[in-house]
Copies of this chain bind each other. A is one copy, B any other.
């Protein structure tokens, strides 16, 4: 349910509205667009929409019949730009680069990665401290200690941190050390996690499910948005197909379709998108050409020794060649 407020709604009218919503057990969040102020309500029970719609101070009210609305370009025409502070913006011009290892492993690894990033003027570092692993016997990440160690170095270097959150209970402990919360492909429809991230005032990068549809991805983003957090990025990271020649099938169609359907920034993950180091550069370039607002990818000072998914991780040298090629595509944004 989306309630459009009159621009001049009074405080007592607001109170009356809140009281009505409390009665029908609806939780509402304020959402602001360039056009108007809204309340977005999510509730358990059906009710007579007129009981709210006829209150003073309400301009309009309607049920949401689509799975998503707020993240749609029909709702907001201007593209969303996510400002991380310190002059770092996503969705505004050339693709934002987010690079780093699969897993945070050691102080030395973090230091070397940051050195590589500073040399190449890259400001957002990726890395996992909580790792979703198919097998319970695999390394699951360094956890909070690793995150804090990483944060110390990143802060010092003026670098922002994006890292995966796997469950609601982790959010609070991670909050102080994280600039962007990442939701992984396996949690793309973990609706409780999405709800909780909707109440956080930090940006979220939401990955498409392993076989998620475009519409499911947008509906998952709507969970976050309708809870009040408008700073969301969507990420194509390859889908599961019948083809066995690569780990995933990068769906470049998704990039161009998402750019049409939503005002949110769209990020490409070429590392998981093909899963083979020697091809990552080509998929990254293709993503930039197709309109990606950012590229998130794995780099490591010794890719062959990287934890777990090393075979898709670029060396620093490989990454640098790619950065230079990406620079030459800037005219596409004109």
Listed in ascending order, the chain A residues whose CB lies under 8 Å from chain B are 1, 42, 44-46, 63-64, 66-68, 132-143, 166-169, 186-187, 189-193, 195, 209-211, 213-216, 219-220, 222-223, 226-227, 239-246, 249-257, 260, 273-274, 278-279, 282-283, 285-291, 325, 328-329, 331-332
A227 to B, closest residue via Cβ = B136
User: Are B253's CB and A279's CB within 8 A?
Assistant: yes
* Separation of A172 and B64 alpha carbons in the complex (Å): 33
Do B244 and A143 touch (CB < 8 A)? no
Question: Who on chain B is nearest to A325 by CB?
Answer: B332
Taken together as a complex, chains A and B put the C-alpha atoms of A44 and B249 apart, in Å, by: 31
Known: A45-B139, A67-B138. 14 other contacts (CB 8 A): A63-B137, A134-B215, A135-B219, A136-B227, A167-B167, A167-B193, A168-B169, A210-B211, A214-B245, A241-B241, A245-B254, A252-B286, A257-B279, A285-B290
Contact partner, A283, options B246, B256, B279, B283, Cβ 8 Å? B256
A190 contact from B190, B219, B288, Cβ within 8 A? B190
> Closest CB-CB distance, A40 to chain B, in whole Å?
9
Assembled-state Cα–Cα distance A260/B167 (Å): 33
Bound together, the chains give a CA A193 to CA B67 distance in angstroms of 26
A283-B256, A287-B286 known; A241-B244 Cβ under 8 A:
no
Cβ contact within 8 Å between B242 and A137: no
Give, as a whole number of angstroms, the nearest-CB distance from A62 to chain B: 11
Most chain-B CB neighbours within 10 Å: which of A46, A134, A168?
A134
Q: Nearest-CB distance from A287 to chain B (Å)?
A: 7
Contact B279 A286 (CB under 8 A): no
Q: How far apart are the CA atoms of A240 and B183 in the complex, in Å?
A: 22
User: Are A213 and B135 in contact (CB-based, < 8 A)?
Assistant: no
Complex formed: what's the CA distance from A218 to B85 in Å?
Answer: 44
Q: In this complex, what residue of B is CB-closest to A2?
A: B137
The distance from the CB of A190 to the nearest CB of chain B, in whole angstroms, is 6
A328: chain B residues at CB < 8 Å are 331
Known: A252-B252, A257-B279, A283-B290. A140 touches B44 (CB 8 A): yes
A241 CB to nearest B CB, Å: 6
Query: What is the bound-complex CA distance between A216 and B288, given in angstroms?
Result: 30
Closest 4 pairs (CB-CB, A-B) = A211-B211, A67-B135, A286-B286, A186-B189
Nearest Cβ distance between residue A240 and chain B, in whole angstroms? 5
